[in-house]
């Protein structure tokens, strides 16, 4: 592996096994996708994958029989309202200047704003809050500013909120459409008619959004906990209810509905809310909620076997961890000579068993943390290799111009790691493009 | 709306939340009240004893076995259990066998081992829900190394210990049973004012109820938590010691983030 060769030569310790395995797969992927037309290293600059847009085909040369000249000519822009003639360089082929409009004129798009006559206004569009002048001005602004209501709101002489402006504009449009249509059926499919602008909903939506935005971290955590807890409780209760006989008490029914009603009402976008914070919440808080809801659901059963109760609690403890960790916990229990399921499951034994499992989880967690911290220290050096997927490590010594480049990343790392040496350490990704400086050698 | 949400830090909080959601199951439809945070539990043993019939065995009846649910110290379970239903293998006639009085046991003759589903019903003042258990009937003797020869005199005993837990029990139930030897109560507060005791659905006290004299009782296994508890406590101590050691190590590693690089040869 090229990386280890480099390190050998430079006299550095080899990387731990896991890192080499990681790096092996990456260069293999890179090597068989080299494009034509640009050099390998330049291609690697773009991230080593195919570009989103087709790149310029540099191999394609203009045919030899063409005579290309560049002339300074004037041009007109159809997007302009005046007849201003500007000048620019034009590629003239065989003395024939190019035809057609200015190439950027097609980007001058604008929104089609309906225009109403005074008569139409009198008949359909009057409104207690809006005067004709205001409405006219609104429409003029809409035309000028391409329906950018934020800008319109800013420049409107009378101060009105964005929602009010939108409301007025869309209601006028709807009224106009209805008035001008031959029959109501014609316009029924127009997007404006099918989904009319609802000002109260819009206001509510924006208020909710700003609430979500302005939530503190703490609030997010609380919300996620509570939502997870409520979901578990309703799920557990649903399961318990299914196991019950048909005579469910009215209390529980009402409770269940209320539970559904309370939770979504609390924040308008609960799903988006819980998506992000769910990852941010520490596993320990989620597990506490799991225990609580498991205990609650056990109580709802009114009777259960001790072994079943222990199983549920163990499941709750393991819910936040992966299968591998669960297996390690079980292995640890066996190593300690403890039965995975207690042979004499008394209350005390089960409590102790659960506590032991929790402690083992803590232990494994700490072990992982320690491992991570230790490898983090040594991976600072490896980080430059691991973080640079484009480094053709096995080619470092083959291509001469970059032989110095191999040295550079190492040196950079040494600088970075010394305490207080360099305040502005560039990230590994930027090492490559840096030009060789005399000071580096 | 803000008041609806509380921080969940313990099981208690979830109960609070249930109440906020409108469920207060402390009182049921009959106005019976439950005692919160108290647990009534009944140590039971569920098992089977099978005797090989030897010369008297026929092709389809090689063993005489009894499946039962008993109190762990052979106390009378009739105090809480009203009825036990044993669901036998469909090859038996009337595979659903109902036992209405203690001792809650069922005897049969057969040749095969199978899983027996057991449904336990409790007196109304105890719990309205039923409890499901199961037990695998064992006929063929074996020890740690494998099968051993059958004997007519020594039965094959398979028992498993468990506890039936009644969380937040009814006050009247607790009043009725709180001195009964079969019943254990945890967390019971002192000076609790209990209402008059409830009445069990069927009252078989001291008649057929006392299983201490049961003919099979010599074969019952004894279950003690001592050994397991000892192992668990030792394990916990070891794990706690390891945790402390790791925590110390972590603190040390945090103290020198560049500690591992100090051996590098490059100085710039």
In this prediction, residue A233 has a pLDDT band, given cuts at 50, 70 and 90, of: confident
Tens digits of per-residue pLDDT, A27-76? 444 445 556 666 777 777 767 666 677 667 777 777 777 788 888 888 88
Identity of the highest mean pLDDT range in A43-47, A124-128, A142-146, B248-252: A142-146
Helix runs in A322-392, H state only: 323-335, 347-386
Please tell me whether the overall predicted TM-score, pTM, comes out greater than 0.90 for this model: no
| pLDDT greater than 90 at residue B6 | no
What pLDDT is recorded for position B97?
95
Tens digits of per-residue pLDDT, B154-177? 899 999 999 999 998 888 888 888
Q: Please indicate if any CB of chain B lies within 8 Å of the CB of A441.
A: no
What pLDDT is recorded for position A193?
77
CA distance A93 to A98: 8
What pLDDT is recorded for position A53?
72
For residues B231-257, give the mean pLDDT.
Answer: 86
Tens digits of per-residue pLDDT, A287-296? 677 788 888 8
Which residues contact residue A101 at a Cβ distance below 8 angstroms, ignoring those fewer than 6 apart?
A77, A78
CA-nearest residue of chain B to A227? B5
| A residues 396..435 contacting B (CB < 8 A) | 410-411, 414-415, 417-419, 421
What pLDDT is recorded for position A360?
93
What pLDDT is recorded for position A415?
47
What pLDDT is recorded for position A22?
43
- B232: nearest CB among A349, A369, A410: A349
Task: Tell if the CB–CB gap between A303 and B166 is shorter than 8 Å.
Answer: yes
What pLDDT is recorded for position A110?
81
Tens digits of per-residue pLDDT, B135-161? 999 998 888 888 888 888 889 999 999
For residues A66-89, give the mean pLDDT.
Answer: 86
Q: Which of A38-42, A107-111, A254-258, A291-295 has the lowest mean pLDDT?
A: A254-258
CA distance A281 to A274: 10
| pLDDT greater than 80 at residue A135 | yes
CA distance B162 to B70: 11
What pLDDT is recorded for position B27?
56
| A87 DSSP β-pair partners | A74
Instruction: Give me the count of residues in chain B.
Output: 268
What pLDDT is recorded for position A249?
45
CA distance A27 to chain B (A): 27
DSSP assignment letter at A96? B
What pLDDT is recorded for position B147?
84
Can you list the positions of beta strands (E) in A55-173? 68-75, 86-93
For residues A396-422, give the mean pLDDT.
Answer: 44
Q: Nearest 5°: phi and psi at A369?
A: -60, -45
What pLDDT is recorded for position A113?
84
Asked if B42 contacts B71 with a C-beta cutoff of 8 angstroms, the reply is yes
CA distance B59 to chain A (A): 35
Helix runs in chain B, H state only: 11-20, 171-177, 226-255
For residues B54-83, give the mean pLDDT.
Answer: 91
Which residues contact residue B230 at a Cβ distance below 8 angstroms, ignoring those fewer than 6 apart?
none
Which residues contact residue A397 at a Cβ distance below 8 angstroms, ignoring those fewer than 6 apart?
A5, A6, A403, A406
What pLDDT is recorded for position B101?
87
Of all residues in chain A, what percent are helix, strand and coil, respectively (each to 5)? 60, 5, 35
What pLDDT is recorded for position A81?
84
For residues A357-368, give the mean pLDDT.
Answer: 91
Q: Which of A12-21, A296-305, B247-256 has the lowest mean pLDDT?
A: A12-21
DSSP assignment letter at A72? E
Q: Please indicate if any CB of chain A lies within 8 Å of the CB of B142.
A: no
CA distance B239 to A379: 30
In this prediction, residue A333 has a pLDDT band, given cuts at 50, 70 and 90, of: very high
3-state secondary structure of A39: coil
Distance of CA B231 to the CA centre of its chain: 20
Q: How would DSSP label each residue in B14-67?
A: HHHHHHHTT--TTB-TT--BB-TT-EEEEEEEEEEEEEE-GGG--SS--EEEEE
| B residues 13..32 contacting A (CB < 8 A) | 13-15, 17-18, 20-25, 28-29
For residues B79-91, give the mean pLDDT.
Answer: 93
Identity of the highest mean pLDDT range in A85-99, A157-171, A209-223, A400-414: A157-171
ipTM comes to 0.80
- B162: nearest CB among A230, A295, A305: A305
For residues A80-86, give the mean pLDDT.
Answer: 86
CA-based angle A315:A321:A324, to the nearest 5? 100
């Amino acid at each position: 592996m090229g990386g280890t060769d480099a390190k050998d030569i430079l006299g550095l310790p080899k990387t731990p096994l896991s890192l080499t395995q990681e790096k092996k797969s990456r260069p293999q992927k890179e090597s068989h996708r080299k494009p034509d037309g640009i050099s390998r290293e330049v291609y690697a600059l773009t991230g080593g994958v195919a570009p989103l847009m087709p790149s310029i085909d540099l191999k394609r040369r203009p045919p030899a029989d063409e005579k290309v000249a560049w002339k300074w000519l004037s041009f007109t822009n159809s997007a302009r309202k005046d007849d201003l003639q500007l000048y620019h360089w034009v590629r003239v082929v065989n003395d024939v200047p190019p035809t057609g409009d200015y190439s950027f004129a097609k980007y001058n798009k604008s929104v089609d704003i309906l225009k109403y006559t005074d008569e139409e206004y009198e008949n359909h569009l009057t409104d207690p809050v809006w005067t004709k002048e205001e409405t006219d001005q609104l429409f003029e602004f809409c035309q000028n500013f391409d329906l950018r209501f934020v800008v319109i709101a800013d420049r409107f002489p009378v101060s009105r909120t964005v929602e009010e402006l939108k409301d007025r504009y869309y209601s006028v449009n709807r009224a106009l459409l209805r008035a001008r249509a031959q029959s109501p059926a014609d316009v029924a499919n127009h997007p404006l008619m099918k989904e009319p602008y609802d000002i109260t909903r819009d206001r509510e939506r924006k208020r909710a959004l700003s609430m979500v935005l302005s939530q503190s971290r703490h609030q997010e955590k609380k919300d996620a906990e509570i939502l997870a807890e409520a979901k578990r409780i309703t799920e557990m209760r649903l399961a318990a209810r299914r196991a019950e006989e048909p005579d469910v008490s009215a209390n529980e029914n009402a409770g269940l509905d209320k539970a559904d009603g309370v939770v979504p009402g609390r924040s308008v976008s609960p799903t988006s809310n819980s998506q992000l914070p769910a990852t941010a919440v520490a596993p320990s808080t989620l597990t506490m909620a799991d225990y609580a809801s498991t205990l609650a659901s056990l109580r709802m059963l009114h009777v259960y076997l001790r072994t079943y109760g222990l199983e549920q609690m163990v499941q709750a403890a393991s819910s936040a961890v992966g299968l591998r960790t669960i297996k390690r916990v079980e292995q640890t229990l066996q190593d300690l000579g403890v039965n995975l399921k207690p042979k004499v499951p008394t209350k005390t034994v089960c409590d102790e068993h659960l506590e032991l499992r929790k402690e083992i989880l803590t232990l494994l967690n700490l072990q992982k943390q320690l491992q991570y911290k230790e490898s983090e220290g040594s991976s600072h050096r490896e980080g430059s290799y691991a973080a640079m997927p484009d480094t053709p490590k096995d080619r470092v010594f083959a291509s001469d111009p970059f032989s110095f480049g191999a040295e550079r990343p190492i040196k950079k790392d040494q600088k970075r790691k010394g305490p207080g040496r360099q305040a502005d350490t560039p990230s590994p990704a930027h090492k490559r493009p840096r030009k060789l400086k005399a000071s580096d050698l | 709306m803000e008041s609806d949400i509380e921080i969940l830090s313990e099981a208690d909080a979830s109960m609070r939340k249930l109440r906020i959601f409108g469920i207060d199951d402390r009182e049921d439809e009959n106005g019976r009240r439950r005692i919160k945070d108290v647990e009534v539990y009944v140590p039971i043993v569920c098992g089977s004893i099978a005797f090989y019939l030897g010369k008297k065995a026929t092709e389809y009846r090689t063993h005489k076995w009894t499946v039962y649910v008993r109190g762990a110290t052979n106390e009378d379970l009739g105090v809480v259990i009203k009825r036990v239903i044993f669901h036998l293998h469909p090859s038996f006639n009337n595979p659903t066998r109902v036992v209405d009085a203690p001792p809650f046991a069922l005897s049969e003759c057969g040749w095969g081992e199978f899983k027996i589903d057991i449904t336990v019903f409790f007196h109304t003042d105890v719990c309205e829900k039923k409890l499901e258990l199961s037990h695998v009937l064992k006929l063929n003797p074996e020890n740690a190394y494998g099968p051993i020869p059958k004997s007519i005199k020594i039965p094959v005993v398979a028992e498993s210990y468990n506890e039936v837990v009644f969380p937040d029990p009814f006050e009247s139930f607790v009043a009725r049973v709180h001195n009964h030897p079969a019943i254990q109560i945890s967390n019971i507060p002192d000076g609790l004012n209990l209402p008059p005791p409830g009445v069990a659905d069927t009252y078989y006290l001291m008649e057929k109820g006392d299983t201490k004299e049961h003919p099979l009782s010599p074969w019952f296994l004894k279950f003690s938590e001592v050994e397991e508890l000892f192992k668990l406590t030792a394990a916990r101590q070891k794990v706690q010691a390891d945790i402390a050691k790791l925590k110390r190590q972590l603190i040390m590693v945090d103290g020198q983030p560049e500690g591992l690089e100090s051996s590098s040869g490059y100085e710039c």
